[in-house]
Copies of this chain bind each other. A is one copy, B any other.
Amino acid sequence: MGETIRFGVSLDTSLLEKFDKLCEERCYKTRSEAIRDLIRKELVQMEWEDHNQEVTGTLTMVYNHHQSDLAQQMTEIQHQALDLVITSLHVHIDEHNCMEVLVLRGPARDVRSIAERLTATRGVKHGKLSLSTTGKGIS
C-alpha cells in the first residue's frame, strides 16, 4: 500500500452538503473513501483510452441455449484467444435464457475486440463489456 498522505480540500458549504448526502446514500463511511473512489473511477477510464494499456474486464452475455451450435462457436472463439480469457461463469436465468460471464485480461484493444466478436455471434441477445482494471498502481 505504501505511505498515506493527507491534504486539504476546500468546498463551499452548499456543495459539501450535497456531497455528504451522496456519501450517506451510498454508505461511504468517510469522505476520503468517496473521493478516492471518484479519482480511481477517472483513472480506470483513462487506462481504457490507451489502446495498449493492460486492463481487465468482464463480458456479460445473455443468450438462448436452444440456439444450436452457439455454445460450440463461443468456445471456439475463446480458444483462439486463450491468453485473454481467464475464466468464465455460467448462470441459468430461466428455461430459455442463460448468462455467461467471461473475465478478460490483456491490452485494451484486444479485450474490446474479442468482446465484440463474441457479442456478434448469432443467438447472443446481449453482450456488455464492463471496463475494469488490474489495480496496479491504483492503491
Partner of A96, one of B7, B33, B38, B135: B135
Partner of A133, one of B12, B31, B126: B126
**Number of A interface residues in the complex (CB < 8 A):** 81
Q: Which residues of B contact A27 (CB under 8 A)?
A: 116-117, 120
Copies of this chain in its oligomeric complex: 4
Q: Which residues of B contact A41 (CB under 8 A)?
A: 126
Give residues 89-139 of A contacting B (CB, 8 Å).
Answer: 89, 91, 93-94, 96-97, 99, 101, 103, 105, 116-117, 119-120, 122, 124-139
- Distance in angstroms between the alpha carbons of A46 and B23 in the assembled complex: 13
Q: Does A44 contact B (CB under 8 A)?
A: yes
- Distance in angstroms between the alpha carbons of A133 and B116 in the assembled complex: 18
